[in-house]
Amino acid sequence: MHTGTPVQKHEAIKPVVAAFDFDGTLSYHDVLISYLFYTHGIVKGIANLVGCAPYLIGFVLGIVPRQVSKEHVITRFYKNRPIQELRQQGEAFAKEVLPSKIKPEALNRLNWHLNHGHRCVLISATLDIFLKPWAEQVGIHDVISSTLEVDAQGKVTGRLEGENCWGEEKIRRLEALIGMHRNEYILYAYGDSRGDEKLLEAADFPYYRKFD
């Protein structure tokens, strides 16, 4: 179990990057469901999820790909909705709801990195429409996440823009942001699930469901 102390020996030589998963790592659980209910209410939210049941069950059984099931949910809830409207709701959700979803020990660890001048990156498969405003509130430098695809009229298509930010996609996007030359920086990574394995494997200091 790493304590974080080793990085201080190298701070003068190499920059430090701290990459945090969100759902289940910084937060207590997956917050997308909370956002779906926030934008639609409990009754309509449950009705929409029931309509998505064949895809969700198929995903659990390994029949339906993760991205396909996620895009079906997005289509059911948000297709043809103006992206600006969703961004406004996302900002409100980030301010009103997300603070209560964050683990205190996770926030303490994030603040430890920020106080040491480390570059903090939020990397998550959930949606940027509420992650980005929350990240701005707490001082995170960069957000890498799944993004809703938008058409020429500024409306949600029901698909994601590119790949769902999960598994190998996380490390691919992180390297695109900070560089592939691993000898040029020190990487801390925090995760809690199979989707974080590649990110944790790439880290100098990986933390799986731990913060110290």
* Predicted pLDDT of residue 3: 43
Query: Which amino acid is present at 132?
Result: K
Label residue 7 by pLDDT band (50, 70, 90). Answer: low
For the chain, give the percent of residues with pLDDT over 70: 94
Label residue 2 by pLDDT band (50, 70, 90). Answer: very low
Label residue 8 by pLDDT band (50, 70, 90). Answer: low
**Does an H or E element contain 113, and which?**
helix 104-115
Q: What is the mean pLDDT of the chain?
A: 93
* Predicted pLDDT of residue 13: 78
Q: What is the rounded average pLDDT of the residues 9-22? A: 82
| Structural domain harbouring 161 | 5-208
| DSSP-derived secondary structure for 130-196 | HHHHHHHHHT-SEEEEE-EEE-TTSBEEEEESSS-S-THHHHHHHHHHH-S-GGGSEEEEEE-SGGG
Q: Which residues pair with 18 in a beta bridge?
A: 120, 188
pLDDT at position 1 over 50: no
Residue 169's domain is classified under what CATH number? 3.40.50.1000
* Predicted pLDDT of residue 9: 52
pLDDT digits (tens, 9 = 90+) for 125-150: 999 999 999 999 999 999 999 999 99
* Predicted pLDDT of residue 58: 97
* Predicted pLDDT of residue 183: 81
If one counts the domains in the chain, the total is 1
- 156-160/148-150 β-pairing: antiparallel
pLDDT digits (tens, 9 = 90+) for 79-104: 999 999 999 999 999 999 999 999 99
pLDDT at position 33 over 70: yes
* Predicted pLDDT of residue 12: 52
pTM listed for this prediction: 0.92
